[in-house]
Amino acid sequence: MKIDFAKLQYQYQLYKTEIDTAMHSVLDKSNYIMGDEVRDLEENLQNFTGAKHAITCSSGTDALLLAMMALEIKPDDEIITTPFTFIATAETIAFLGAKPVFVDIDEKTYNIDPSKIEEKITKKTKAIMPVSLYGQPADMDAIGTIADTYNLKIIVDGAQSFGSTFNNVKDSCVGDISTTSFFPAKPLGCFGDGGAVFTDDDGLAKKMKSLRVHGQSKRYHHQYIGMGGRMDTLQCAVVDVKLRHYAKDLALRQEVAQKYTKALQSKELILPFVDKSATSAWAQYSVRVKNRDKVQTRLKEQGIPTAVHYPMPLHLQECFAYLGYKKGDFPVAEIVSKEIISLPMNPYLSDDEITYVAEHLIAATHFSKIDNN
């Protein structure tokens, strides 16, 4: 058997008629920049999430920049975040000249551990940036309490978690500003780069709309230093079609995750944990194994692709050497980064495929243990 990690081609075939029609409609109008489809998608994103404002932008990375620019994050400000995430989370903080301040992760959810945040707050701290890793929001109750106490903003990096919930609220609505990404491999992906920011604050929304088009207030009048941060009309048309099917796709991801969990009961594996307050969008189904390299090689030989999100925590990345962190600073993130492995995950995995992956993964953990002895 040969397993497809994300089944993007399969998904295109599934929605091909609708997607082709939507894309051709844009081509016929040639309204490539800020066409009607952009506004349509934004309205539908608002309806789906319950956020008062959804503003599309050029990527999940630029969404984080827009959020921080709107909140006037400046050089020397500090933002507390997790070291166990994609580089964009902390890179954008540093790009604005601010300082990413890392806090170790929770052993079960792999999200930022709220009990370790307070000791990192200083006079310079302006915001907390939790990431909803693998699709699951962080503990937003605890983070919200800390933010209230110290008057900090919350920016949620929801690049992996569109459609997830915390206390039945969509994770696009749990921060002062939440972001997402429409990168093709994310749960709701376009055919290139795209993203969005969400907020209930009218002022922040207005500002982010302006920042997205070079800080302009009206044509060729620039109120702020902004960016070229628009999402293409074509990409909005694609996401709008996929959004119509997204509730169903999310439910299918949830089913796939449950089937994996049932099939993977083994002492050699640590399976994903979703807190009772949260639901996950299941961007990834990631398990912990010993001897990860060997397991990965064996699975590859069986036609099972896997990925590692992420092999090196951000505090140990060369680009952040200037922050002065060292090995051992965040022991949970460090051990998880050595053991974590993501299995093929998409809404369309068949029962046979799930069983095949599960059987070979369990076998691979046994073999790799024998190899090691």
Ligand X SMILES: *Cc1c(COP(=O)(O)O)cnc(C)c1O
Where on the chain is the footprint of ligand X (CB under 6 A)? 59-61, 85-86, 88-89, 131, 157, 159-160, 181, 183, 193, 195
Closer to ligand X by CB, 35 or 194: give it.
Answer: 194
Minimal distance, residue 210 CB to ligand X, in Å: 21
Query: Can you say how many angstroms the Cα of residue 314 is from the centroid of all Cα atoms in its chain?
Result: 16
Minimal distance, residue 371 CB to ligand X, in Å: 32
Closer to ligand X by CB, 160 or 306: give it.
Answer: 160
Minimal distance, residue 185 CB to ligand X, in Å: 8
Closer to ligand X by CB, 161 or 365: give it.
Answer: 161
Closer to ligand X by CB, 180 or 279: give it.
Answer: 180
- Give CA–CA dist 205/101, Å, rounded: 26
Closer to ligand X by CB, 60 or 368: give it.
Answer: 60
Distance linking the first and last C-alpha atoms of the chain: 30
Closer to ligand X by CB, 89 or 279: give it.
Answer: 89
Closer to ligand X by CB, 89 or 306: give it.
Answer: 89
Closer to ligand X by CB, 48 or 86: give it.
Answer: 86
Residue nearest to ligand X (CB): 60
- SS3 of the chain: CCCCCCCHHHHHHHHHHHHHHHHHHHHHHCCCCCCHHHHHHHHHHHHHHCCCEEEEECCHHHHHHHHHHHCCCCCCCEEEECCCCCCHHHHHHHHCCCEEEECCECCCCCCECHHHCHHHCCCCEEEEECECHHHCCCCHHHHHHHHHHHCCEEEEECCCCCCCEECCEEHHHCCCEEEEECCCCCCCCCCCCCEEEEECCHHHHHHHHHHHECCEEECCEECCCCCECCCCHHHHHHHHHHHHCHHHHHHHHHHHHHHHHHHCCCCCCECCCCCCCEECCCCCEEEECCCHHHHHHHHHHCCCCCECCCCCCHHHCHHHHHHCCCCCCCHHHHHHHHHEEEECCCCCCCHHHHHHHHHHHHHHHHHHHHHHC
Minimal distance, residue 132 CB to ligand X, in Å: 8
Minimal distance, residue 194 CB to ligand X, in Å: 7
Minimal distance, residue 284 CB to ligand X, in Å: 9
Closer to ligand X by CB, 133 or 364: give it.
Answer: 133
342 close to 286: Cβ distance less than 8 angstroms? yes
- Give CA–CA dist 356/203, Å, rounded: 51
Minimal distance, residue 199 CB to ligand X, in Å: 17
Minimal distance, residue 30 CB to ligand X, in Å: 25
Is the omega angle on the peptide bond into residue 310 within 30 degrees of 0, that is, cis? yes
Minimal distance, residue 364 CB to ligand X, in Å: 26
